[in-house]
Chain A
Amino acid sequence: MRWGRGILLIASFMLLIGVTVLAAGTPAGTQIVNQATATYVDQNGVSQTTASNEVITEVSQVCGLTIVPNGTETSPGQLQEAAPGSTVYFSYTLTNTGNGQDTYKLELVNSSSDDFDPDSGAVYLDANGNGLVDPGEPQLTTGFGAYGSASPTVAADGQIKLIVAYHIPATVTDGQITKVNLVGQSQACTSHPVDDDNWNQTTVTEDANVTATKSATPMSVSPGDTITYTISGSNTGNKAAKSVVVTYDGSSHTGILITDVIPAHTSLAAASWSGAPASGFALFSTDNGSTWSATAPGDLITVTNIAWFIPDPHSGDTTKEDTLDPGQGYSFTFQVSVATDAPAGIIPNTATVNWADSTGTDKTTDTNEADVAVNGSYSVFVGPHGNPEASGPTDQNDDYTDAGTQAAGSWVSFTNTVENAGNVADTLNITMQSYPTDWQVLLYKSDGITPLADTNGDGIPDVGQLKSGTTADFVVKVFIPYGTAADSDGSTTVHDTVVRVTSAGNATKYNETIDRVTDIVAAGVDLSNNPYNEGTVTNTTDPGTCTNFPLLVINTGGAPDTFALAVSAGLPTNWTATFYADSNLDGAADTATPITSIGPLGGAVLTSDVSSSATLSVSNTNYLAVGDTVRIGSTNYTITAVDTGAKTITINTTITASAGTVVGEVGGAIAEVCVPSNQGPGDTDITFQATSKNDPSKSDTITDRVTVNAVAGVSLNPDRSGTGSPGGTVVYEHTLCNTGNQDDVFDLSYTSDWGWTYTFTDTSGNTIQTVSVAAGSCVELNVTAFIPSDAAVDQLDVATITATGEAHGATDTAQDVTRVVQGLLKLEKSVSPTGDQAPGTVLTYTTSYKNLGNAAITNVVIYDAVPAYTTYASGSAGGTVPAGQLLYSYSTDGGITWSAWSTSSPAASGITNLRWGLDLNSDGSIDGSDALASGASGTVSFKVRINN
């Protein structure tokens, strides 16, 4: 049975060293994870955040150990007395002061300057910490001067109990001493640090010698558990141990007294004390051992010390008498309850026996230190900011943070607080238990921009290690997808993100909190006329003109959004609709640059009830600027201040709670509708549409009306002039256009100064009096002037031609001016070769002229042009005259300017037009003295090459 218990205790030993508080530097293997972030304003004026790579540094192992009690060879740390032939036991505590797991080898060293050498020695692992070498507790070292086998693994900051035992030879004599040093060496690091100042000393005595050891069970407890301490020992000396004088209940008594301190975080358990020999009884102190009483106080929590008093035969006097015979043992057992709020860690305890040797000299024997580990108890809470232990309607798992109404297409930030309510440092993992479908959830540190990292390497983000009883904040950001449907039913439908915090020390310990969005404002837009008017606005315009409809685009979605502008219905073919920005809502386009969308327009949800204030808390201030027009409810306001840090806007008027839940920027646009010139009169309804880019299923329309005026119009062009001989005719071409938007039949009429006769013909030569012209169309018509045969030379007839719409009355006139001339120069032009010709062919144009009049004519100049797609052959112009000489002139700009008259054929490049002057008197100029006689004739000619 003893064996079984020993093995059990060794098994639980690892538990004991597992419960440690970090004190010896950062644990080996810890990952230091760092990540920088940058915030900046981008080219579009939008705040951006970006994070760097993660940099990870792993902490390396350092080794170290301490063994206590310390002692030098000249001043040993532990002193014992022992009889010849007995074995002495010294308890030591070895602590791993490194930052990682380690094992230790131990060595005993005997002084070379003492009185005698022990005849055997060993170091044992005191697995149960009772100060005794129990069956099953391993022996680590045998003899002196050499390291033994390695100890079990000790965690960083963990400790093990060791017992140094050595045997006193039977031959030694009273007063002789021996000194032994315990040396420990770390194994995990190549530097192998040692602790070698742990000397003890044993003095041989042939008098009484009372030993004392102390055990504690169990070795590890949880808060609320009970510890049983047992102190036992015996008189291992050769003479009886005498009593000492003890005062209790106000009077002196004699006996052996075993005292103990009730450890911190524990209290004496009721009626838990007993001891041997049976003559003994317990004493109690409530003042740290200054005074004692044989009667336990009513409230045992006040007990600071307890003792077992073994009276001598005449305890009432002050004479020290024999109390414990050689070989006689004693024991004392009591129990303490561990406080429910006891921190994790070691509860140490040492008892002291007060006795006197055969000469009556008072002596004390201290027990080993009996350590009990208080296990870590893990408990975590998470809740709304600053209230991790919050309770919801049911329990502490459904407490919630209500973000109220939020907008689709926005991030909602929740700050939650976690608490380590356990008694030991713990790492708190954060996970999402559930969240609305398609939403995104991101975790950040309390700054709201650094992503929550995993600091303990378990792959789960956490808030880092928290000391017992401390709290930490973290931020949960949820993104409500753009297309989320509206929800305005209050708490009937809610949108919960369930956040769970789980203890890394004990994964069964967790707590949840809810980050809630109660209602959702869907993306939305209100398209209206400007000024605000949801009705139909009618614009009246003429055909061939454009008319503007000022529009207001109001973001009703509660989040910044951009809206596409379009005509959704009613725009006739050949009409155009173009949108322009009108940022100041004045009804006029800002610039001539067309737009197809407007935005981003600011939008936000009012985050706190408005109670008669002009300064409003909003869910975001993006794109909301001073001077912007915003709509709250059904009223427009002007922003007078924006505080991006506090997320407030100030508007020009105080409003109250019922004003609305959403602030939406009002954008202006101009819809310019252009009507083609042939558009008939009448009404056309056109529907404009604004569509959310956040959620293209959300749009609004406004239908406005264009009334096209009835317009009558006609143009008759151009004015013409010509010459003709008496009895001849002159034909003038005109173009008549119906510039109105209605078909009409136009009456043709004329007036003549001299009463000449004019007729109208169509292009086919048919005589007409009226002409029918569709709206927007033109027709060609000819006017023929008949010159009376008796008309005087140089008579000038001005004819006014009038076209008048029969139905709509539009009228226009043109003038044809005809001068009667005496002669008549006949021109006939021919080309050679005739017919279709290949490129490169040279064509010769020849014009013959003849004065058909009955008198000589002067100032004769013949014009011709180089046809399109041909090039004038340099120097090819020529001709004949009946007398005198030909003069040449040319133009390279289509006849606008001409070169001076010359007798040589033009040879310049780029010639577009040619003219020949009949210098019939060879004086070098063309004037009134150059007379072409009646019947005289000649030719002029030039050559061109058909362009390739």
Chain B
Amino acid sequence: MTQKYRLDKGGFIKRDKKISFKFNGKKYFGYEGDTLASALLANGVHLVGRSFKYHRPRGFIAAGVDEPNAKVQLYHGAKTEPNAVATEVELVEGLIAKSQNCFPSVSFDFGEINNFLSKFFPAGFYYKTFMWPKNFWYKIYEPIIRKAAGLGVAPLKPDPDRYEHKFEYCDVLVVGSGPSGLASALAAAKNGARVIIAEDKSRFGGSLLTDEVTVGNKKGKDWADETIEQLKIMPNVVVKNRSQVFGYYDHNMMVMFERTKDHLEFPNKYTPRQRLWYIRAKEVVASTGSMERPLVFGNNDRPGIMLSSAAKEYLRVYGVLVGKKPIIFTNNDSAYETAIDFKKNGINPIVIDIRENSESSVIKEAKNLKIDIRFSHAIANTRGHLRVNSATIGKLNEQKTNYQSLEDISCDCICVSGNWTPTVHLASQSGNKLKFDENINAFIPNQSRQNETTVGSAKGSFTLKKSLEEGFNKGFELSNKITKKNIKSAIPTSNERSNGKQNKFWCMPLPKNKNYKRCVDFQNDVYVSDIELAIREGFRSIEHVKRYTTLGMATDQGKTSNLNGLQLVSSIEKKIVPEVGHTTFRPPYTPVTIGAIVGREVGKYYRPTRKSPIHAWHEKNNAVFVDAGLWLRPRYYNQGNETLHEASKREAFNVRNNVGICDVTSLGKIDIKGSDSAEFLNRVYTNAWMKLPVGKARYGVMLREDGIVFDDGTTTRISENHFHMTTTTAQAVNVLAHLEYYLQVVWPELNVNVLSTTEQWAGAAVAGPNSRSLLEKLFPDTDVSNEGLPFMGFKEADLFGVPARIFRISFSGELAYEINVESGYGIFMWEKIMEIGKEMGIEPYGTEALSTLRIEMGHVAGSEIDGRTISSDLSLDGMLSKKKDFIGKRSLNRKAFIETGREKIVGVVPLDKKTMIPEGSHIVVDNKASLPNPKLGHISASCWSVEYNNPFSLAILKDGKQRIGEKLYALSPLKSKSIPVEIVSSHYVDPTGERVRS
């Protein structure tokens, strides 16, 4: 295929590098440097998609991020990308793209029936239509709407690409590399500031690429190229293209989306696909330019109708004619440049100008070129199904309410210009309350709330001279605040065409008795009639009109449509635009891939993994791991074809009968030192700590100030002013922050220091009746007898030359010890214990067996300390000191805490002694009662008691111990279970605690 609409020369594409690509299954050619849009237009393809609601044929409107129509699906399979904007997709060999929202094809789309039925689908039709019958919603309406809604198709497979995050700091971030951006960056950089300049497109220069101007006696583009080269070699400047700064967040945190890979034919294997930059900039210069607004007229959304600036960009940057019989339709002078460019390339355009006359230099130039100009005229309607082929034009009457005469002229494209809208998104996101500028009929930034400065056409300065001045001045001013070097750059001279005044008229009247659709929002299919309807139905606030009609929503966020919508509302409501106000601009400015937002935090990098120093041994011995916060802990050690249930039963049974070993490294450990340490513990824990002897451990419970139990654990007095605290694995981090808060904020007078030592110690719990004889062999020089090391005793000892700490504490309820050594010796300790314990039948046990052991002992853990229970609910009232005050004590006489009928801990056994009770089951009196069945409590933890060889659960039950002996039901609607149960004591095994003291 030849590129019939490509000029023989011109543009900045590389004509020696031909590129093939596929669109809707058909092969085309373009050149390196093309976008998908410019390459398609070079091949004469305008029809790219179907509109969202009515499936009307649509073509390209813009040449950049403002494009509302040309959303395409790229590639397929895991790499597929929906809603890619064809004007932003760079052409690369083998690119595959297809149209979205059409079936079976873009030129023949069944969905177009909606267009013929459109009077049944006005704005808000789905709010009114699908109300009844109620049961139709799930089965009929919703599936149909779901199928019809949306644009592209999301990939169903994991993203194969890699994405990166980057954090950067700079003095001045310049967003946009048009004349004002380049000027700001150059001035700031020369003044010694650290500068980042970001350009969304692949080429730098912005309007300098397309405008017939000179800067410093050079062509605009040459000056831009030279300036960029100059910036690139400066060590204090980062120059980035293909980088969209899409968000302005608090304290000048800017987020930028860089496309690093998709445009490369042979990317390096280590290149990420995209990169998200978090840039903390001291000053931000928004030189984001402006966007042309469309004019609104009958059937203004046909393929071939586009912005005049886009036509000029396709011609000047890509050497592409968007048509050979163009009509230029405008209310201002800027469109004449497009007409002149057409003319200079041998194409005769017709200019339709709403204004009565204009005498600026650009119009004189057009007249000299003998361009056909029709003043006081407008386009009333267009024709052409898949591509515009004619326009109905007419002379406007004086009030511009109707046409004096109408005639059809044939065309193959219409280039429209409704003047320019400053791109104020970043300023608005920064908190800048915009103001309406009557002269340009658009909003511009007002007072900056952060260190944001908008320059150039983004603040309505539409001449090159002014843009350059603002850029150089602001670049110097802002950088000088930081560097104070006073190096001022000279502002180069510039030459440009002068433009006359625009006419604000933008929405063409309908000829009498005609009801043509006039499109305001192309992406969302919002027409003039929809906005009129919304106002007729009583929607007044622009935010409500937006949501009712969907004006300005979806992926383009109304870049081309917002202001026209506002103007329409204000003209219907007879208000001025600033009174109507504008909808809020929110980040992201352009769509950002989820991959870039997530970055490297996928799979196992989603969050850090904490492993004990003994982890490798567990792996080698068939441990099955479970997440415990960030920690990976062995859940059980698999032998043969065991199930989890069988393995944990075996392991727990071995602890009760021989000896087991469990890795308890993940328990939180906090080192507490200082002369007031005992006093501090006395305030933090509910029980007494002042008289704890050196070499002794004590169990403690901490409350929150509201009286709820916060955490529990043992703390050991290593020496007079030195304690070793343990916390649960889950709360380790929170307990440390809690202690720090009280020490720094509440009681700074206490002389205490706390430090997390969780990772400094490797811990092993050795539990079971054989544990003492094992310790005797592990520590032959240390007296570990019941007298030498009694329950809750502590000793420092020597483990074959390694210093160790022995704590005689027990979570399993058996005679047990916890041995700590420095982390680096963890594996040595573990293997030594396994080796020596072999003859006593030692076996490792995981968290599942650990749970079994603690549940049947009635020891509480996280499932009982659930943020709702107080000490007495957990039978820990004995731990509450009456003699001293402590954190949370004052809350304990709250009415709700002293009332009878609180839910308290009990044990639960199924009557059949066989059925495991699902955790979370509700306990009720009557299993057949009508719903809602009054709930007495819930099952907090369940296990298979190895002591009694039947299921046993803990429950938090209303009136708790008073119900011991009662027969109730445990109901689990989730598992469809109704289990008759008996309430028993929560201390199911060894209620007097003989074993731990034996």
Answer whether A and B are interacting partners.
no
Q: Using a CB–CB distance below 8 Å, which chain A residues touch chain B?
A: none
